[in-house]
Chain A
Amino acid sequence: MNLKINYIKYLAVIGVLYSTISFGQNNSINNSTANDTVKIYTENDIYRLSTVPIPQGLLLEVGGMTFLPSGSLAVSTRRGEVWIIDNTSMKDRRQPTYRLFAQGLHEPLGLNYIKGDIYAVQRSELTRLRDSDGDGKADQYETMYSWPLSETGNYHEYAYGPLLDKNGDMIVALNLGWNGNSESLSKWHGWMLKFSPDFKMTPFAAGFRSPAGMGLNSSGDIFYSDNQGHWVGSGFISHVAERDFMGNPSSLKWSGEPESNITLKPSDIPDTGKPMFEVAKTVKGIKTPAVWFPHTILGISTSGILNYNNEGKMGPFEDQLFVGDQGHSKIMRVFLEKVKGVYQGVVFPFREGFSSGILRMNWGPDGAMFVGMTSRGWGSTGSAPFGLQKLEWTGVMPFEMKTIKAQPDGFEIEFTLPVDEKSARDVSSYSIGDFIYKYHSTYGSPPINQADRAIKAIVVSEDKMRVRLVLDSLKEGYIHEIKAEGVLSAEQRPLLHNFGYYTLNNIPNGEKVIITDDNRVEMSMGHDHESMVSNSNTTQAVKDQEVLGKHTVQMPANWGGKADLTITLRTLSGLKFSTDNITVKVGTKLKLVFNNNDDMLHNFVMTEVGAGNEIGELALKLGVQGEKMNYVPNSSKVIAYTKILQPGETQAIYLNVPNTPGVYPYICSYPGHYLVMRGVIRVVK
């Protein structure tokens, strides 16, 4: 009931906007026109995305990026090259020029210009590259520090950095290896290392899993990003300080080494599935994330971190962090605050639609953001194998939630433009809920302990820039989903992005709102848990299977103990099924075995003819509910599916092949995968 009212109200609001005369707008020019409609801005109207050309044949699989004092951009690629690119701004409509500076590094995933030199981080060392004879090519590849690697030559032992910290030290982070499990296979993998100016190494924090992104905020504090995996329920960014343990216990196997300043051992970390913040209360040294990025809603593979400092020009978000995502080819925005001395804050969507998987972002000339990308080995929503793009602010002020700050009794949202008071005071404009993730050795976690929050009072500031929401209660430690779908700007525009996720590590002290008739909320609306509405048209193929059920995991009783045909599917790296083409006869009793031998979560979903993309898109929109539903939407166009399988897990399902011949797609509906991970079942007579 509630959801329908919300939905209809929203439609009504939009309908009213479109049909009545209000305030004609045309970008920044404020002229009253005869135009009746209010322009609804899209991301592209505010933040313009353009592509930096790359010469054909040059595989710019970006691993690291840094601008040089001259304004040139240095890029290290996953195939070991360092290119220096001039005229990235394409001044005078000229093509940028590319020059090969270095070659043969071992998958350098980080590059930085520090104190007059270019430094790269390769798999096994921190390298300084120098061109001593001035011919434009590096001729000195100096090993500043070399660390061990697993004897198994593990591809997953990546290394990132160097980040220059506020004390002038260089920071490097080492990825855990992969052997079916995220594991620290050689010394210091899963640790963050610090190098003094004379390159003495001190390991100073542990518990990392895949620390692909690192950056300083405006206070000079170190933040890093990790992504869903073993012991990591969902992607996040976290503040890193001396002796912090970030969560994955495998790296603690080295805590006994003489250089280590951490005393936790792997056995100190309980594997209960209780939320991390609860475990952190009893195990000293565990550092919980500053901001969680709910999986599949705000990315799946959190990557580069870029602080909005005075080098950038990207709207009214100074001192906030931009965070990239490799799998979903998009960028999020984070507002951080410190409550009781601990970082916490909110993550919002910012810009999507990049051409490949985002790894690195840097401020370039004129405050533009340069985004370096690669998707080889891990498919991404942006399907290009690699790319370099530029994001620029058009100067148009977007209507966004600028910040959300925790209050003793709720949250205060600060907007970029004054709000329309009516919609801002309307409780149905908002929807608040909370949940958390499990902290356990399993790969990833579903959201747990979900609950709705009710709004008891709403206070709109006099300048109409801030709205304070008083909630029925606050759950310390939980992730709060804050949606403001109905709030309009004073000019009747909707928000460019209307939701954010606030990680409430601590509830601040301070004055609570005194509830009066002016600010009290009459009715409290439930949090909308809707997934997708079922389509009532059911095809014959679906009906055929429905007798059996879409998810039958036992041999059906009436099959006489034997399937007509057993097909086993596995995965190939790069998000592929082991076969993308299966031919079967109509009516076959099919046992489909899916063995997920990859290092990520996957499922198998067979759909109605022509419905592969539709189901994939629906799955992308499932939101927080998705995990519980195995990312299979409630659609009549789903014929059969497996659950989401852990790396290494297998499941068999039993299905009746449809009696109608045709080409039936199958996909992995895990958000973001369906574009590459798919195949077809050809049903023939």
Chain B
Amino acid sequence: MKKVVLLLLGSIICSNYVFSQSSVPTSNFDAFEKPGENWLIVSDLITDFNKSTTKFVKGNGIVVNTPMKGATNLVSGLQLEGDTEIDFDFLTTNGSNSAVYIMGRYKIQLSDSWPESQNPLSRIGTIDVNKAESSISFHTKQPISNVGKAPGLWQHLKVKFKSPTFDSSGKKVDKASFAEVYLNGVLIHQGISLEGPSDGAIFNDESTKGPLVFQADENHVLAFRNISYKSFEEPVQQLTGDAARRFRMVNPIIVEAKAEPYVLRSYLLFDNGKRTHVISVGNPNHTNYSYDLKQGSILQFWRGGFVDATDMWESRGEPQLATPLGALITLSSAPSVALLSNSDSIWPDSIPFDDFHNKGYSLDNNKNVTFHYEYSGFNVDDKISMVANGESLIREVSVTNAPTNLYFRIASGKVIESLGKGLYVIDGKSYYIKVNERLKPIIRKSRNADELVIAFSKNISSLEYSIIW
């Protein structure tokens, strides 16, 4: 009797385990089939985009693959069943090659192809549609855009997967498909039908059930964390009320930088509000940023397409908003420069409109933008340049008549880690900053954030750093 009750209880728990938001813990290997020795559990890792060696921090929370001959894949104990939404963070290292197989069968490429891979088959986010298809054109499906990040940074994948269905005789009725795939918050696939298991799948057949499989790499470190899943139902397209009234199929207006950067002024949605004195710059190599003209701050940057300007130029353009098309990394609207009474003073949130005299901007021969402003008696030239290989943006700031207590805040984030030689990784591995150590950058801990700050002085009236992601 007890056994039956326990079994019942167990099955109830198990079914709940599959059909509501659940996690696949990475604090130990309990949720996985016994892994090969290449897999470890750690709490953190220290690496960057170049290094071929990685240090690990003891603890748990992250599952990593270490280089080892004969490395084997990590297979979840969990069997995904039916239509499922899967989320997880992953981290590549320089040259790493990996993938995730949904149901152990359907592959999404997670290799390092930063910043833009020449090999289309290994581009991050590529999916295998039909390994049997002889024509190369239809074997794989490219992501809508390249929004991958540099090695050593956490990236996020969200997959809305629709299971294949079979009739009572076992004949396939509906194909498996990826309803939606998001990389770093950006839709990269939509409504892609899958013919069958991909290259490298652990099963040759198809089924309504299968595990989550993370592909190992014999030569490189990989990391995964925050794995969760839930069943999902595609919402019925039912617009009501205001949304129904406003819905109108319009031809979208997409702005892209073609041969040269596109410098565009618009309103911008930021931090749940609209900012009205903003310039966004789209580069032909798909690095883009937005700059607040009245605070002298980089508000955000992204890799991917430039902007959707439908809200600016369709009919009256009532919102007047340009919407970034890539994976946004959001910074702060606080000014980049501040006059502090001492090096520990709290960084101001903003400079009053009438005090900050923006003087406009100029373009160099490559149409890189230098912003000019005057504040409190000193003048600033703030230049942000594209880097040909698309890995980074370079910011060069010079100040004339700098007063003695002027500081520059390069970055702020919940954690700033120094990786040595002027390289920092910001905000829990969201992006890198590379700055010359001669500028004596310091990490301040304030409120609930870390800040990377440089003091201007007689010897330091200009600074330069790279934003790498």
> Are A151 and B360 closer than 8 Å at their CB atoms?
no
Docked pose: A139 CA to B309 CA in angstroms: 23
Q: Which residue of A lies closest to B317 (CB)?
A: A155
Q: Is A596 an interface residue (CB 8 A)?
A: no
Quick one: which of B263, B277, B357 contacts A124, CB cutoff 8 A?
Answer: B277
The reply to whether A142 and B319 contact each other, CB–CB distance below 8 Å, is no
Query: How many whole Å from A495's CB to the nearest CB in chain B?
Result: 39
With known contacts A122-B265, A570-B245, A143–B360 Cβ distance under 8 A: yes
Residue of B nearest to A597 (CB): B245
Say whether A534 faces chain B, with CB atoms less than 8 Å apart.
Answer: no
Per-residue CB proximity of B271-293 to A under 8 Å, as 1/0? 00111110100000000000001
Given the known interface contacts A151-B273, A153-B274, the answer about A141 and B360 at a Cβ–Cβ threshold of 8 Å is: yes
A133 to B367, CA, bound (A): 12
Stretch of A43-51, A98-106, A268-276, A310-318 lying at the B interface: A98-106
Interface assignment of A219: CB less than 8 Å from any CB of chain B:
no
B363 within 8 A of A: yes
A76: shortest Cβ distance to chain B, in Å? Answer: 13
- The 8 Å CB contact of A104, one of B265, B294, B320, is B265
A120-153: CB near B (< 8 Å → 1, else 0) gives 0011100110001100001111110010111111
Interface contact A376-B245, CB-CB below 8 Å: no
CB A137 to nearest CB in B, in angstroms, measures 8
**In the complex, which of the residues A132, A151, A570, A573 contacts B276, with contact meaning CB atoms closer than 8 Å?**
A151
Once the chains bind, are B248 and A572 in contact (CB under 8 Å)?
yes
Contact with A along B245-261 (1 / 0, CB 8 A): 10010000000000000
Distance to closest chain A CB from B48 (angstroms): 35
B146 within 8 A of A: no
Known: A104-B264, A151-B276. A376 touches B362 (CB 8 A): no
Q: B360's contact among A132, A142, A150, A574, by CB below 8 Å, is which?
A: A142
With A140-B360, A146-B358 already in contact, the answer to whether A153 and B315 are too (CB < 8 A) is no
Residues of B within 8 A of A124 (CB): 265, 276-277
- In the bound complex, residues from chain B placing their C-beta under 8 Å from that of A155 are 316-320
Q: Is B313 an interface residue (CB 8 A)?
A: yes
A153 pairs with B321, CB closer than 8 A: yes
Contact in complex: B264, A80 (CB < 8 Å): yes
Q: Which residues does chain B contribute within 8 Å of A572, judged by CB atoms? A: 248, 315
A106-B266, A150-B276 known; A142 vs B359 contact (CB < 8 Å): yes
Min distance, Cβ B32 to any Cβ of chain A, angstroms: 49
Q: How far is the CA of A140 from the CA of B371 in the complex (A)?
A: 10
For the complex, give the distance between the alpha carbons of A78 and B316 in Å. 10
Residues B262 and A103 in contact, CB atoms below 8 Å apart: yes
- Whether, in the assembled complex, B267 has its beta carbon less than 8 Å from a beta carbon of chain A, the answer is yes
Once the chains bind, are B316 and A151 in contact (CB under 8 Å)?
no
Please, how many angstroms separate the alpha-carbon atoms of A376 and B250 in the complex? 14
Knowing A80-B264, A141-B360, A155-B320 touch, does A376 contact B315 (C-beta < 8 A)?
Answer: yes
Instruction: Please give, as numbers and ranges, the residues of chain B lying within 8 Å of A139 by CB-CB distance.
Output: 362-364
B360 touches A153 (CB 8 A): no
The minimal Cβ–Cβ distance linking B316 to chain A, given in whole angstroms, is: 3
Q: By the criterion CB–CB under 8 Å, are A574 and B316 in contact?
A: yes
Q: Are B294 and A146 in contact (CB under 8 A)?
A: yes
**CB of B361 closer than 8 Å to a CB of A:** yes
What B residues does A78 contact at CB under 8 A?
Answer: 313
- A411 within 8 Å of B by Cβ? no
- Residue pair B362, A106 in contact (C-beta under 8 Å): no
Cβ–Cβ < 8 Å partners of A138 in chain B: 363
Of A107, A153, A573, most B-chain CB atoms within 10 Å: A153
Interface string of A358-379 (1 = CB under 8 A from B): 0000000000000000001110
Contact with B along A49-93 (1 / 0, CB 8 A): 000000000000000000000000000001110000000000000
Distance between Cα atoms of A138 and B367 in the complex (Å):
10
Check B316 against A377 for contact (C-beta < 8 Å): yes
The residues of A that contact B245 with a CB separation of less than 8 Å are: 570, 578
A146 touches B276 (CB 8 A): no
Q: How far is the CB of B250 from chain A (nearest CB, A)?
A: 11
A103 to B267, CA, bound (A): 16
Contact check, A143 vs B359: say whether CB atoms are below 8 A apart: yes
Please, which residue of chain A has its CB at the minimum distance from the CB of B320? A155
**Number of interface residues, chain A, beta carbon within 8 A:** 37
Given A153-B267, A578-B245, A377:B317 Cβ within 8 A:
yes
Q: How far is the CB of A117 from chain B (nearest CB, A)?
A: 13
| A104 lies within 8 A of B318 (CB) | no
- In the assembled complex, the Cα of A578 lies from the Cα of B247 at a distance in Å of 10
Contact of A153 among B276, B294, B362 (CB under 8 A): B276
Closest to A61 in B: B313
Q: Tell me how far the C-beta of B242 lies from the nearest C-beta in chain A, rounded to whole angstroms.
A: 10
Report Cα–Cα, A132/B363, bound state, in Å. Answer: 10
Write out the residue numbers on chain B whose beta carbons fall within 8 Å of the beta carbon of A151: 273-274, 276
Which residues of A have CB within 8 Å of B294?
A: 146
Task: Tell me the residues in window 73-109 of chain B with beta carbons closer than 8 Å to chain A beta carbons.
Answer: none
Among B245, B263, B276, B359, find the residue whose CB has the most chain A CB atoms closer than 10 A: B276
A111 to chain B, nearest CB (A): 16
A162 and B293 CA atoms in complex are apart in Å by: 22
* Contact residues of B between 324 and 362, Cβ < 8 Å to A: 353, 357-362
Report the separation of the CA atoms of residues A106 and B267 in the bound assembly, to the nearest whole angstrom.
9
Task: Indicate whether A153 sits within 8 Å of B320 (C-beta atoms), given known contacts A79-B313, A104-B262.
Answer: yes
A211: min CB distance to chain B, Å:
18
A578 to chain B: which residues have CB within 8 Å? 245
Contact A141 B316 (CB under 8 A): no
Q: Find out whether the CB atom of A148 lies under 8 angstroms from the CB atom of B353.
A: yes
Query: Which residues on A sit within 8 Å (CB–CB) of B316?
Result: 155, 376-378, 573-574
B117-161 residues with Cβ-Cβ distance < 8 A to A are none
A140-B360, A574-B316, A578-B245 given; A146·B277 CB < 8 A: yes
Which residues does chain B contribute within 8 Å of A376, judged by CB atoms?
313, 315-316
Q: Taking A141-B361, A141-B362, A153-B267 as contacts, is the C-beta distance between A377 and B315 under 8 angstroms?
A: yes
Known: A143-B360, A146-B358, A574-B316. A103 touches B276 (CB 8 A): no
* C-alpha spacing A377/B315, complex, angstroms: 4
Find chain A residues with CB under 8 A from B276 CB. Answer: 123-124, 148-151, 153
Q: Is the CB of A140 within 8 A of B362?
A: yes
B272 CB to closest chain A CB (Å) equals: 11
Bound: A370/B293 CA distance, A: 35
> Which chain A residues border B275 with CB–CB below 8 Å?
153
Which residue of B248, B315, B358, B365 is within 8 Å of A143 (Cβ)?
B358
Separation in Å of the B139 CB from the closest CB of chain A? 35
Name the interface residues of A466-503: CB closer than 8 Å to any CB of B.
none
Q: How far is the CB of B327 from chain A (nearest CB, A)?
A: 23
Mask of B290-314 contacts with A, CB within 8 angstroms, 1/0: 0001100000000000000100110
**Which chain A positions have C-beta within 8 A of B279?**
104
Which chain A residues in 548-602 approach chain B with CB under 8 Å? 570, 572-574, 578
Contact check, A127 vs B262: say whether CB atoms are below 8 A apart. no
* Beta-carbon contacts under 8 Å, A215-258 to B: none
Greatest chain A CB density within 10 A among B360, B362, B363 is at: B360
Give the distance in Å from the alpha carbon of A138 to the alpha carbon of B318 in the complex: 28
Contact yes or no, B265 A106, CB < 8 A: yes
Please state if A80 and B273 are interface contacts (CB–CB under 8 Å).
Answer: no
What's the minimum C-beta distance from B314 to chain A, rounded to whole angstroms? 9
- Other 20 A-B pairs with CB < 8 A, given A377-B316, A572-B315: A78-B313, A79-B309, A104-B263, A104-B265, A106-B266, A123-B320, A124-B277, A132-B362, A146-B277, A146-B294, A146-B357, A146-B358, A148-B276, A151-B274, A151-B276, A152-B274, A155-B317, A378-B316, A570-B245, A574-B315
The 3 closest A-B pairs by CB, nearest first: A153-B274, A377-B316, A143-B360
- Residues of B at the A interface (CB closer than 8 Å) are 245, 248, 262-267, 273-277, 279, 293-294, 309, 312-313, 315-321, 353, 357-365
A-B contact pairs, 22 of them (CB 8 A): A79-B309, A103-B263, A104-B265, A106-B265, A106-B320, A107-B320, A123-B320, A124-B265, A124-B277, A141-B361, A142-B360, A143-B293, A146-B293, A151-B274, A153-B267, A153-B276, A376-B315, A376-B316, A572-B248, A573-B316, A573-B318, A574-B316
